[in-house]
Amino acid sequence: MTVALTEIFSEAEWAELVEELSLSARQEQVVRCLFSGYSDKQIAWELNVSVATVRTHMARLFSRLGVQDRTELVLHLFRHFREGCRSNGCLRQCQGRTVGV
């Protein structure tokens, strides 16, 4: 089952999360592909880069965010988002959002 990014975050929520985490434009594209369930090879094809380049972007994301793999990266993003919701009193309208993962 593939879950689209827009099924989880609104575009405004996603933009805020990207800004809070200071993701580069390319890192954002890679993460969007991850949320679509793409493999490294599919991400490379989608972004018109080599698989090695995708793996470099992933390694830098893992290092920067203190995670070990794709699963931890996605969970880190959810956790960061939920913490923001709690601390902001759900100002981002995240209340009631559920993810069928």
Range of the domain at 35: 5-87
Give the per-residue pLDDT at 64: 93
Would residue 16 count as lying in a domain? Answer: yes
Number of domains in the chain: 1
Would residue 71 count as lying in a domain? Answer: yes
Give the per-residue pLDDT at 47: 96
| Predicted model pTM | 0.76
Separate counts of helices (H) and strands (E) for the chain: 5, 0
Would residue 101 count as lying in a domain? Answer: no
**Other beta carbons less than 10 A from residue 69's beta carbon:** 10
Read off the CATH number of the domain in which 11 is found: 1.10.10.10
Distances (CA, A) of 36 to 29, 30, 70, 89: 11, 10, 12, 29
Averaged pLDDT for residues 5-19: 82
Give the per-residue pLDDT at 98: 45
Structure tokens at 19: 């800004």
Percent of the chain with pLDDT over 90: 50
Structure tokens at 94: 């995240």
Structure tokens at 4: 């689209």
**Tens-place pLDDT, residues 36-77:** 889 999 999 999 999 999 999 999 999 999 999 999 999 999
**Other beta carbons less than 10 A from residue 87's beta carbon:** 9
Would residue 44 count as lying in a domain? Answer: yes
**Tens-place pLDDT, residues 84-93:** 765 665 544 5
